[in-house]
Structures are given as structure tokens and as C-alpha cells.
Amino acid sequence: MLYAFTMDLEHIETISEQEFIDSSVRALSERIHQNIDEYGRAIVGLSGGSTPRPIYSALGKCAIPWDKVSVFLVDERYVGADDTDSNQKLVRDTLLSSAPIPEENFLFPDTSLPLAECIHHYELKLAGMLSAGIPHIVTLGMGDDGHIASLFPPVSDSAYGDHLVLHTETDRFAVHDRITTTMVIIGSADRKFFFLKGDAKKQVWEEMMADKEDLSRWPAKAVLNLGGGVLVSYWS
């Protein structure tokens, strides 16, 4: 496991699948403990996808005072809560299957509502959760096209505006309608954890770091420019 620091980015580079999971869990757990020690609670925003699934499962088994942890989704697909594409289902099946986080401490978009109402309702609830302070942690991946959360390039100016939650659309995946938090949420987090695995992700990350295009092309650059970035990678 190698550590490097660049542009206020901590890079934890691992050499196996298990080390990738273990290092990710260790980094998250240590940060959650630190937030609880400093602030009495930890507010954690989680992204979906296949990469963080084993990380969330293992994290849920850690000895953490889970009653002091609040969880929200960084983004969601506009599908039913029990749909296989639902990020809510992912978090419930992994982290929440082991971590005894009180029901009132986690927040998901209510996708049973009409889309506009779902977004408005989630924004209000998030504002309430964050009324006492910024998110302490958000977890992120990055797609082969450079998207993070459900902010797909070219990212509109609204992602950098005043709203906490937006509706976005994509033709690249089966679920077109997405609900995503904006840079108001993602960018303000004290620590932004990127979990990236595989040669394709290494290629897109290196392309982003070398590219001079603006932030509409690479929303992850906006996140990194705000500081507090942590990259855990396994370039298999």
C-alpha cells in the first residue's frame, strides 16, 4: 500500500482486491471515529455502484458508535426502493444489514413520489439534516465518461448553483432519470473519498488529471480543487 499527496489529494494505492477493500474501510472508519470525537456525530453521504458494495458491507461490521452516524445518498436512480438498480437497496443490503444505525438517522429520496416532488422533498430533508453543519464525508466513484454522482459531462451550471438536489438525465445507462446532490453538498464535505478500481478507471483518472478542459467536463476536478480529496485505488 502506497501513500502519495498531490494538489491536496491523499492517494492510497493498493495492490490487491482485498487490500483495496481493507484500506477503504480503514480510512472511512478512522475518519468517522474522528468526526464523532470532534463533533459528537458523523454525517456521511454514500454513492452507489458495484465498487463500494464490499466496502459498505465490511464497514457495517466495524465497531463504530452507529447511533451517532447519519447517512444520506449522494445520488439515486429514479426507481423503486426495492429495485436492483436502487442505491437505497444497495445501502440497505450492505451497510445497514449490519450497522445498527437508527432509522431516523438515514435519509433516502422517496422515489414513490412524482419526480419533481421527490427532488423537492429530498432537498428539504437534506437541508434539515445539514442544518447543524457540513457533511463530514462523501463517497464517490467516477464513470468512464468522467461523471461523479449523477453529474454527467458536460455538467450544467445548475450543479454549481444554490440548489442542494437536481434532476439529471443520461442515455448511457438503463435508468435515465437521476436524482443527485450538487456541489453545494459534495464540494462542502470535509473529506471526499474516491474509490476507483481497474485499468479503465486509471485511464480516465489520468486523462482528467492531464486535461486542461473546464469543470463542466470533469466535475471531479471541482471536488479536488476544494480540498479534502482522498483517492483509494486498485489499478488491476
Domains of the chain, residue spans = 2-234
* Beta pairing class for 42-46 and 137-140: parallel
Q: What phi, psi does 123 have (nearest 5°)? A: -60, -45
d(CA 26, CA 21): 9
For domain 2-234, which CATH number applies: 3.40.47.10, 3.40.50.1360, 1.10.287.610, 1.10.3720.10?
A: 3.40.50.1360
Q: What phi, psi does 131 have (nearest 5°)? A: -65, -25
Helix (H/G/I), strand (E/B), else coil: 61: coil
- Residue 55: CA count within 13 A, CB half-sphere: 28
Per-residue pLDDT of the chain (236 residues; tens, 9 = 90+): 543 445 579 999 999 999 999 999 999 999 999 999 999 999 999 999 999 999 999 999 999 999 999 999 999 999 999 999 999 999 999 999 999 999 999 999 999 999 999 999 999 999 999 997 899 999 999 999 999 999 999 999 999 999 999 999 988 877 789 999 999 999 999 999 999 999 999 999 999 999 987 788 999 999 999 999 999 999 97
* Residue whose C-alpha is closest to residue 193's, from 32, 78, 50: 32
* Residue whose C-alpha is closest to residue 71's, from 114, 41, 27: 41
d(CA 59, CA 94): 9
pLDDT of residue 112: 98
Question: How large is the C-alpha radius of gyration of the chain?
Answer: 17
Residue with cell 478500481: 197
Grid coordinates given for 144: 468512464
Q: What phi, psi does 190 have (nearest 5°)? A: -65, -40
pLDDT of residue 6: 52
Helix (H/G/I), strand (E/B), else coil: 161: coil
| Interacting residues of 212 by C-beta distance below 8 A, sequence separation 6+ | none
Chain-centroid distance of CA 226 in Å reads 15
